[in-house]
Structure 1
Amino acid sequence: MSGPKLTPMMAQYQKMRRSLPDDVLLMYRLGDFYEMFFEDAQNAAPILNVALTRRNSIPMCGVPYHAADAYIAKLVKAGKRVAIAEQTSEPSPGKIVEREIARIISAGSIIEAHLLDDARPNYLAAVYQMGKKWGLACVDHTTGEFTVAEFTERGPLDDELARLTPSELLYSDEQIPAFGALPAAQAYDAFAFLPDPAGQLLKDHFAVQSLHGFGCAEMHAATGAAGAILHYLIHQLRRPCEHLRSLKVREDSHLVLIDAASQANLDLIDSRSGKKHTLLGVLDRTKTPMGARLLRDWILHPLRDLAQLLERQNFIADLLEQPFILSKLRESLQGIRDVERTTARLSQGAGNARDLQALAVSLSHIPELKEDLATLTRSGDLQSPAQPRPEQSSTENPATAHGSLLTDHSSNLNDHTDLTAQLTTALAEEPPATLKDGGLIADGHNPELDELRSATRDGKQWISDLQAQERQRTGIDTLKIKFNNVFGYFIEISTAKLATATLPDDYTRKQTMANAERFITPALKEMEAKVLGSEERAKKLEYELFLELRQQVCEHLDSLQQTAAAIARLDALGSLAETAQTHRHCRPKLEASRAIEIVNGRHPVLEQTLVDEKFVPNDTAFDPEDNLLQILTGPNMAGKSTYIRQVALITLMAQIGAYVPAESATIGLVDRIFCRVGASDDLSRGQSTFMVEMNETALILNHATEHSLVILDEIGRGTATFDGLSIAWAVAEHLHDEIKCRTLFATHYHELTDLSNTRPAVTNYNVAVREWNEEIIFLRKILPGAADKSYGIQVARLAGLPKPIIERAKSILSHLELNSTKPDAKKRGPKAKNTRQNDMPESNAPQLDLFD
């Protein structure tokens, strides 16, 4: 940055720039623009698509102040961090304007509402390895959520990161080989991760002597990551963190674990076909952003805690038994804004009068919610606690389980009547987005403000009257009294009129324009001082009153966060209840067993999105003794993958406490859900389709337990026929013999159906089809027994393969079947005759060796 001697302003800029990390872009406020200079300008200009110019050989670019948010969003989306330097003093002759860095914006610390997705959390995460443990900390700076977890293996850590999808991920700069390739990752000072300073920073922040109260005192890897996050927010991003009030431990023992591949294969929250084709898309009928984010988290982190699940089921049952209350509850929630993020913004010294107004509007609906819950509670009290509801598990004690969530919600919903009234009466009906231009506070709230406003209004009326008087006095009917920031109020007369007019003696020429002259008078300047003085004092007083209101909100921070959490739970459970009501879902019976029994189960996504045909329901039954591993055969497109995913999704729904799409269901709780379906490669890691398939299969075999649910589709299809069949056979045997978990195994290897002859808990099923006039009709029904063939050629014909190819394929298939099977060829193992090219039927086409 060498060159000519810098001006005082540029010297100020350089000093400020040196205080920032090299990879942070500095947006420097100059009047109505944010300017960037030197390398920052060169880096930012192409991202922002703005002109790169030069002044005194210094590269520079700028964006308008009023449109800065859109440009900041572009920079953050491009992976940049942005420091905002604001003017902190008013311009005055001969003095440089003072400036300070107000905040540094990074992807994981955004709090501006227009830069965020309401329905998704915005996580800043940190990872740290100590010995054989991996620590993970995660904060949503927009809400105050702060969690930690520890893992004894790297795989589960990566799976949790895939579920959380943090916008920004910190790791120690001494552990670059371990974490440098993770998405959105950046190295940070290793000192911040060390357990002792990190733990002390956490204790200082929470004002505690020990972290035992948070349950993480011995989780050194996790607290190292948490301390690093706090250090990064406070010392590098210069963000206030008063709204981070607690630290929670996320324990895997209470959750159903779903690895990253299974999450993607089940289309839980994302799908190439769009959100409406995901489980979240069909369950999300939430009315508030808090509820939407919570429901998303429930789907990604199902529960294994039977008591919590029964509480959720009971609450949904109460709502369904009182549909009028359900409707009222949903209507009340409709008027509530994002209390969680609004409160967090205000507590960080951000936010504006519109945020205060949104908070007041939201809090005004709390009494309605409490009344709805009170009505629901009275309804529950009328029911006899001696008899459990028919759908409930026999393990539940209805007398204690019923109503516990109702009580919890009622006690945590704080209506803040006084605060709501104060905000409502203090704020203008439609406050502006800016804070220092007036219009924030309602008339009648503050006597001093009312007086200043009256003086301003009276003064402006006096000036308006003066214009009429001066027109009469001078005889110039086009005379105007105008105002600008440079000269204040002045009298403007066109040059043409001035040539024929005689001006009063008290007119003093102020400025000559191309087509007009500007004048002032002593009376005008005297009134100007009164008008402008009162207006500026009014704006200053309004801003001070706003700060007082914001401070009062911050004094209720804990209670507001508690209320927001209760609203989120109400909304998420209400959404599940409304879905159950709309789509005839049933309450599943939950139990601590390895059984699963589903009667007329339906795919929760397809039943809502299927257009061309009616969805066909199917039964499912697992029994540890004689029906533990189910081999499913049938043609492509018949519905095998749909069916096995359906079972996994119904099980998952049951373990978030939801009702499920079935006539009835009994779900023995699972500890993990594995889903290996489809085929894809990972070219970025140099892995073939088959290698990806084997990696996912290995993960299942190494981590599944007898309480897991495993669904597999086409294991072994990515390699040679006999290799693939052998692998599939061995995998199936291992799942049955060693792991003993509930497994749905869809395959085109019909030889696998022989396992039912040697394994007591293997059962064969097939997807029913019918042939008619060489047409194949998919019945979508799962029936006992093995399929007799795969109908691959018929499916190829449906796909549009040319007729000569279809006919040739039929000829080859007939010959292969004739030469590779005999009446006694079906053995209990993968065996087949090695058929060579010279066994192929003759064809006019050139012959190719299909097997070499």
Structure 2
Amino acid sequence: MTAQGIVGQFLSLKEETDADLLAMQCGDFYEFFADDAETVGRELDLKVSQKSSHGSSYPMAGVPLADLTPYLKALVERGYRVAVADQYETESGDLRRKITRVVTPGTLLETSRADAQFLAAIVTGRSGGLGLAFADVTTGQFLVTEADTVEDAAAELYRFSPVEVLPGPDLRADDETLSQLRDATDASFSLFSSDAFAPGRARHAVREQFGESTVDSVGLDSELATRAAGGILAYVEETGAGVLRSMTRLRVYHPSDLLELDATTQRNLELTETMHGDRSGSLFDTIDHTVTAPGGRLLREWLTRPRRDRDELARRHDAVESLASAALARERVRDVLDGAYDLERLASRAASGSADASALLSVRDTLDILPALADAIEGTELADTPLADVVARPDRDAAADLQAELDDALAEDPPKTVTQGGLFQKGYDEELDDLIERHESAKSWIDTLADREKRQHGLSHVTVDRNKTDGYYIQVGKSVADQVPDHYRQIKTLKNSKRFVTEELEEKERDILRLEEARGDLEYDLFQDLRERVAAHAELLQDVGRALAEVDALASLAAHAAGNGWTRPELTEPGVLHVEAGRHPVVETTTDFVPNDLHMDDERGFLIVTGPNMSGKSTYMRQAALITLLAQVGSFVPADAATIGVVDGIYTRVGALDELAQGRSTFMVEMQELSNILHSATEDSLVILDEVGRGTATYDGISIAWAATEYLHNEVRAKTLFATHYHELTSLADHLDRVANVHVAADERHGDVTFLRTVVDGPTDRSYGIHVADLAGVPRPVVDRASDVLDRLRDEKAIEAKGSGSSEPVQAVFDVGSGQMKVESESSERSNTTGAPQNGSVESAAAVASESTESPESPESPAPAIDPETEAVLDELESVDVNATSPLDLMAKVQSWQSKLEGDE
């Protein structure tokens, strides 16, 4: 085919796919042409050539056939969807090409991700609710659920962290919902045929894949979840990933089975990555001591999907306890696991037809770990524990049979490609053994030919070799070339030698080539059959892989518990949270940590936490959340003792950043997070509030914090820890029966402040913000001036404002009633007869202007009558000295006046 014809075929195939790039096989290379070549060259630093033919020039970049996989992976991980067109020969001998697969982020098998690689689908219903499906093509996991709200669906997206999302047809037209879901994940969103999400087609696809009995037994009765699952199955089939057979098990889960963790809470608690997006410093990074990739993947799954089932959690706690107390046995278990490969992903590779001989050897070696692990447990303290039950779960006999078959079949050091022979051991197949014997006999004849020719014809300097151009040849030095026998036929003259062939050598070469081709074809057929049998055992491999991963994750939790003095928590009914000498699981590994107790129950369910800045309030509250979460993971916890009531959710509001691109300020984000908590939390939840209302004016903020506290206490009744610098809120402990005050102690002597980081009962009225400013390096004049201002505001409610160059004294008066600052000078008192604002005033100019432009009542209009109740309120208002009344007392008076005016009193 001409160059123009190749490019034309490339462009024609490109029109058939909506993929971003097309890799088309041309002989021993995959080539990218035109704009695709420029893109690939730029992204992967490949050389781009300019090829000319018949007056046309076009860019071209290529990679060797055997090297396509790493380049595909690199392109997909950069966000490109890549179509692959393979070459085939027609019956007439013509070369044609067709697209055989489209590789996308969610269908890439050769991933470098240690974590799960989920492909997600989401559909919405007209009557509300959303259906979600999650499939990991690399491991065969397939999960479906239904969410009641968009916020719930976003939380699930954040939990699973998919790499690609397929939005259903109705969702694509809902910009607001789609935007909310995009905010919860970094995944790429791919449009796919609407027909795949149709109820009837999706239902048929799910039942075809998993079987009628399976679908019925797992209770998949949600049409929305079924539609999402059907969309994924159709997408995986159409993209040609070839892994549908590895998706053997459908799991329906309900968010109510899990501890609720919205996306905000998962970020705030830094479960798998820090606020800066780093794995280092996260909870997962701290407690992950797994020795296998599947074990780490499962541990991450447990952290992001804590359980509420106390029986399952007790089973995990039993296993961790037995492993933590049996150090020698635990280390033997971990040593055995250290050689395990990722069976779940190997099963998917076998199902897709991409597993080579080395991959099947990895399957063999990992299956051999199962009995070794059983032996490591038997006869130790671990023998009668849940750990032994985990190891006994897979079908040991079937695993042993498959392991033995692979052990009998494969050579120990097979070639990297599966088409060149040398894959199998002698004795595996009689026909193959016969071909190998004949091939080796022919090769032996060739290997001894040089010595025979020397002896027979008295020649020296004779060698026999082979290359692609000449095939097999006899090479003789020029000094004796004239002595060769007549049946030698010269084929080439070199500088110091000549090359010859004979009819017998040519015939033997033809025999060897026929035997090599026959051997290669037979070995490839045998290997495909063997790989097919491995693929047929995908469910078994997944069972074994999951069991090994579970042992690894449990051993990791035990190793961390034993090495850091963690203790087993006692799980009880909701409502109780008692922790003795609790620590933050991450912070304790980086600094000398001061442990603290925490006691909450039905009578002490709301703690207002006060204390200095930087003293540890946030750490104290987050460690409460993390200790609760770890207990519901099945882990031990960082404390001397802990009794933890199982919670249905953990909700946090820890701080907010502007999201200006979405039109949301810091305060708006804060209020949206607070709103979500007030709507979502229940009496069985744990709520962590680290400052509420700080993003607005002081009295607005106090009012919001006050009202939120009352609502959480009276209506929601969730266990709550609320850190605040609004010290006025501490008086709520005198009025709300479940509210108590605790504070982080500080020692102040001779002007020096020491943060003790010890939490004690009772309130505090100091935040030591100026001390923190000093620690942060704020210039000394500013710190000193701030201290002076603070003292004056406390004692006199007034300060003298310093001007820049003016000698005239300026008096700034802080009105605690209004929360405003009024600035006046002697000249302004003399000249400001109209009430207009003067330079330097911090009063609202708009408010003054409003007062100055109010029209007086017309003398013809009679003043409205004032009833006695209103007149009494006005008299009280006139008599109040706002400068001598505390903000809380003032707010109480306002509430009393409102009640009187509304007739409630």
- Trace 1:612-691 onto structure 2 (pairs within 5 A): 613-625=591-603, 627-691=604-668
Which residue of 2 is the match for residue 69 of structure 1?
69
Deviation at 1:772, TM superposition (A): 4.2
Asked if the contact 2:382–2:388 (Cα under 8 Å) also holds between the matched residues in 1, the reply is no
Q: Deviations over 1:726-748 (max 9, x none)?
A: 22222122111211111111111
Do the aligned partners of residues 191 and 744 (structure 1) sit closer, same or farther apart at CA in structure 2, a change above 3 Å counting? same
Quote the offset at 1:35 in angstroms. 0.3
Q: 1:234 aligns with which of 237, 260, 273?
A: 237
**CA distance in structure 2 between the aligned counterparts of 1:404 and 1:362, rounded to whole angstroms:** 22
1:462 paired to 2:445: yes
Counterpart-to-counterpart distance in 2, 1:238 and 1:575: 33
Offset of 1:274 from its aligned partner? Answer: 3.4
Partners of 1:500 and 1:405 lie apart in 2 by 76
Match of 2:575 among 594, 605, 622: 594
Q: Which residue of 2 aligns with 1:414?
A: 396
Cα gap change, 1:684 to 1:375, in 2 (>3 Å): farther
In the other structure, the counterpart of 1:400 is none
Where does residue 393 of structure 1 map in the other structure?
A: none
Higher relative contact order (CA 8 A, sep 6+): 1
Q: Deviations over 1:759-806 (max 9, x none)?
A: 121111111122345433221111112223111111111112222222
Aligned to 1:392: none
1:351 Cα deviation after fit: 0.7
Structure 2 CA distance for aligned equivalents of residues 37 and 511 of structure 1: 40
What corresponds to 2:856 in structure 1?
none
Match of 1:532 in 2: 513
1:134-175 deviation line (CA, Å, top 9, x unaligned)? 110110111111111111211100111011111111013453
| 1:212 Cα offset (Å) | 2.6
On the 8 A contact 2:699/2:819 being kept in 1, the answer is no
Measure, in 2, the Cα distance between the counterparts of 1:406 and 1:837: 77
Per the alignment, residue 108 of structure 1 pairs with 106
2:820 aligned residue (834, 844, 849)? 834
Find the partner of 1:163 among 159, 162, 178.
Answer: 159
Pick from 277, 296, 299 the counterpart of residue 281 of structure 2: 277
Q: Which residue of 2 aligns with 1:384?
A: none
* Residue 574 of structure 1, CA deviation: 1.9
**For 2:8 and 2:530, how far apart are their aligned partners in 1?**
38
Answer yes or no: is 1:427 the counterpart of 2:410: yes
Aligned partners of 1:377 and 1:406 also within 8 Å: no
Partner of 1:542: 523
Whichever residue aligns with residue 428 of structure 2, its letter is H
Which of 473, 480, 501 is residue 490 of structure 1 equivalent to? 473
Determine whether 1:726 maps to 2:703. Answer: yes
SS at match of 2:635: coil
The Cα shift of 1:72 comes to: 1.1
Please say if residues 598 and 665 of structure 1, whose CA atoms lie closer than 8 Å, have aligned partners that are also in contact.
Answer: yes
Letter of the 2:227 partner, please give it.
G
How far residue 524 of structure 1 moved from its aligned partner, in angstroms, is: 2.1
**The residue matched to 1:61 in structure 2 has which SS?**
strand
SS at match of 1:635: coil
- Secondary structure of the structure 2 residue equivalent to 1:175: helix
Q: SS in structure 2 opposite 1:631?
A: strand
- 1:326 maps to a residue whose letter is R
Residues 18-51 of structure 1 show CA distances to partners (whole Å, capped at 9, x for unaligned) of 5x42224221222332102244334433223324
What is the alpha-carbon distance in structure 1 between the residues aligned to residue 86 and residue 499 of structure 2? 35
After superposition, the C-alpha distances for 1:458-481 in whole angstroms (9 at most, x for unaligned) are 444433433455578898866654
Q: Which amino acid aligns with 1:835?
A: M
For each residue in 1:243-270, what CA deviation from the matched residue of structure 2 results, as whole angstroms up to 9, or x when unmatched? 1112211101211110001100100011
Q: What's the counterpart of residue 334 of structure 2?
A: 330
Q: What is residue 258 of structure 1 aligned with on the other side?
A: 261
Q: What amino acid sits opposite 1:300 in the alignment?
A: T
Matches of residues 180-259 of structure 1 in structure 2 within 5 Å? 181=179, 182=182, 183-208=187-212, 211-217=215-221, 219-237=222-240, 239-259=242-262
Q: 1:48 and 2:51 equivalent?
A: no
What residue identity is the alignment partner of 2:508?
M
Counterparts of 2:409 and 2:104, CA distance in 1: 34
Counterpart in 1 of 2:363?
Answer: 359
* Code of the aligned partner of 1:424: D
Matches within 5 A, 1:702-713: 702-713=679-690
- Tell me the CA shift for residue 424 of structure 1: 1.7
C-alpha distance after superposition, 1:526-575 (max 9, x if no partner): 22123333333332232222223212223323222222222222222222
User: In 1, are the aligned partners of 2:272 and 2:300 still within 8 Å (CA)?
Assistant: yes
2:130–2:224 Cα contact (<8 Å) kept: yes
Deviations 1:421-469 (A, max 9, x none): 2212322222232211223223443444344334444444433433455
Letter paired with 2:329:
I
Matching residue of 1:84: 84
Cα distance between partner residues in 1 of 2:121 and 2:345: 22
Match of 1:767?
744
- Kindly state the Cα deviation for residue 513 of structure 1 after the two structures are TM-superposed: 7.1
Identity %: 37
Cα RMSD for the two superposed structures: 3.0
| Secondary structure of 1:424 counterpart | helix
Instruction: Please report how far the alpha carbon of residue 817 of structure 1 lies from its aligned counterpart in structure 2 after TM superposition.
Output: 2.4
Superposition deviation, residue 69 in structure 1: 2.4
Is 1:711–1:745's contact at 8 Å kept on the other side of the alignment?
Answer: yes
CA contact (8 A) 1:819 1:833 kept: no
Decide whether the 8 Å contact of 1:690 with 1:719 is kept in 2: yes
Residue 36 of structure 1 aligns with which residue? 32
Say which is worse superposed, 572-581 or 205-214, in terms of deviation: 205-214
Distance in 2 separating the partners of 1:326 and 1:849: 72
Partner of 2:899: none
* CA deviation map 1:389-431 (0-9, x unaligned): xxxxxxxxxxxxxx56743542335252222122123222222
Secondary structure of the residue that 1:711 maps to in structure 2? strand
* Aligned mate of 1:125, from 120, 125, 130: 120
- Partners of 2:750 and 2:29 lie apart in 1 by 74
Aligned to 2:805: none
C-alpha distance in structure 2 between counterparts of 1:782 and 1:156, whole Å: 35
Q: Which runs of 5+ in 2 are unaligned?
A: 800-815, 826-838, 845-905
Trace 1:343-382 onto structure 2 (pairs within 5 A): 343-375=347-379, 380=384
Partner of 1:386: none
Residue aligning to 1:746: 723
**What is the DSSP-based 3-state SS (H/G/I as helix, E as strand, rest coil) of the residue aligned with 1:412?**
coil
Structure 2: which amino acid aligns with 1:108? G
Flag the 1:585–1:238 CA change in 2: closer, same or farther, 3 A.
closer
Q: Which amino acid aligns with 1:330?
A: R
Aligned to 2:123, the other structure's residue is in SS state strand
Distance 1:476-1:818 versus aligned 2 partners, 3 A rule: farther
Q: Which moved more, 1:370-379 or 1:314-323?
A: 370-379
- The code of the aligned residue for 1:525 comes to E
